[in-house]
């Protein structure tokens, strides 16, 4: 599956693949790996955010909770899904299903695919900052194994809000960053057309983040991108999830939480 030319790909080429309009979204991933998925709705506080799909399925016969950001695969769906940009109620819905999973000792799989948390008036009124902050602390203390998978785009706090897990995987051509390359270019180079340079400077590819130990696994893709053949990648993801959950399920709760804490505690580069 791998060949040399893939290593020569520029960060920007991967950005384009990550955003390719035929790239499978979370729904396709769920259909493929979890055909018995039942979707459940609502945050029980305000509403049901369509940018986040939650529900229960089985993985090798074991029940799991799935929490996935969904971008939509056609114009109509994309509008319905708000292009995968959750409002605060989305994160509160994710939290509700995570806590439900904890109660029933189900592992949780988070699928990250968002340009970012939605920047809008309603989102601010309902506390986007608070929703993201609370989601991260809650993830830190949830006593069940959790794995986050960056499928295509991991946009900033909107991605990290469901990205504080025991393991983090990234698809080979996915990107994960503090801001979109366009936003980054417009802030730091005062020119959003320099997005491709920004993509290079930001170090947002799976390969970079694996090197930095921000992620734990890269899910390989077809050499022309996930949209050309996803079955091999999804099979590989399923195998990896099964293996890691088998390991994580053996840990007692305290070790699980302490290890998760240490993982994030050690992130950051500084001198002293």
Binding region for another protein (CB under 8 A): 117-121, 123-130, 132-134, 136-137, 140-141, 156-157, 160-161, 163-164, 176-179, 183-184, 187-188, 201-204, 209, 212, 214, 261, 264-265, 267-272
Nearer to another protein, 4 or 266 (CB): 266
For residue 188, the minimal CB distance to another protein (Å) is: 6
Smallest gap from Cβ 116 to another protein, in A, equals 9
Residue that the structure tokens 């801001």 belong to: 179
Residue with Cβ nearer another protein (42 or 127): 127
Q: Cβ 176 to another protein, closest distance in Å?
A: 7
Q: Which is nearer to another protein, 38 or 267 (CB)?
A: 267
Whole-number minimum distance, CB 136 to another protein, in Å? Answer: 4
Provide the H-helix boundaries in 113-169.
121-125, 128-141, 156-160
Closer to another protein by Cβ: residue 143 or 238? 143
State which residue, 57 or 87, has the beta carbon closest to another protein.
Answer: 87
CA distance 8 to 227: 20
Burial 124-140 (b: 16+ CB within 10 A, else e): eebbbeebbebbbebbe
Task: Give CA–CA dist 200/198, Å, rounded.
Answer: 5
Residue that the structure tokens 């929490």 belong to:
67
CA pair distance 39, 77, nearest whole angstrom: 16
Which tokens in the block code for residue 89?
A: 């109620």
Question: Least separation, in Å, of the C-beta of 79 and another protein?
Answer: 14
**In angstroms, rounded to a whole number, what is the distance separating the alpha carbons of residues 257 and 154?**
24
Residue 62 or 259 with smaller CB distance to another protein: 259
Please give the Cα distance from 176 to 170 (Å, whole number). 8
Residue 44 or residue 239: which is nearer to another protein going by CB? 44
Quote the least distance from Cβ 101 to another protein, whole Å.
18
Give least dist CB 262 to another protein, A: 10
Phi, psi of 40 (to 5 degrees): -125, 150
In the three-class reduction of DSSP (H, G, I as helix; E, B as strand; rest coil), residue 167 is classed as: strand
Tokens of 206: 């799976």
Q: Phi first, then psi: what are they for 74, rounded to 5°? A: -150, 170
């Amino acid at each position: 599956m791998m060949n040399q030319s893939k290593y020569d790909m520029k960060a920007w080429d991967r950005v384009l693949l990550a955003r390719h309009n035929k790239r499978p979204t979370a729904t396709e991933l769920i259909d493929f790996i979890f055909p018995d998925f039942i979707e459940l709705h609502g945050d029980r506080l305000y509403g049901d955010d369509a940018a986040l799909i939650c529900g229960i399925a089985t993985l090798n016969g074991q029940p799991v909770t799935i929490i996935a950001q969904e971008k939509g695969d056609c114009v109509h769906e994309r509008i319905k899904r708000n292009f995968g940009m959750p409002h605060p109620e989305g994160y509160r819905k994710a939290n509700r299903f995570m806590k439900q999973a904890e109660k029933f000792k189900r592992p949780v799989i988070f699928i990250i695919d968002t340009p970012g948390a939605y920047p809008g008036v309603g989102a601010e009124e309902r506390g986007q900052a608070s929703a993201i902050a609370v989601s991260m602390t809650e993830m830190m203390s949830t006593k069940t194994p959790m794995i986050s998978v960056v499928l295509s785009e991991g946009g900033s706090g909107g991605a990290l809000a469901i990205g504080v897990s025991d393991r983090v995987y990234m698809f080979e051509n996915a990107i994960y960053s503090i801001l979109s390359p366009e936003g980054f270019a417009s802030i730091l180079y005062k020119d959003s057309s320099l997005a491709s340079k920004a993509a290079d400077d930001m170090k947002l590819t799976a390969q970079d983040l694996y090197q930095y130990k921000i992620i734990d696994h890269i899910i390989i893709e077809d050499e022309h991108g996930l949209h050309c053949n996803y079955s091999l990648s999804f099979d590989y993801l399923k195998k990896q999830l099964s293996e890691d959950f088998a390991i994580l399920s053996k840990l007692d709760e305290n070790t699980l939480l302490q290890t998760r804490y240490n993982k994030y505690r050690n992130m950051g580069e500084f001198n002293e």
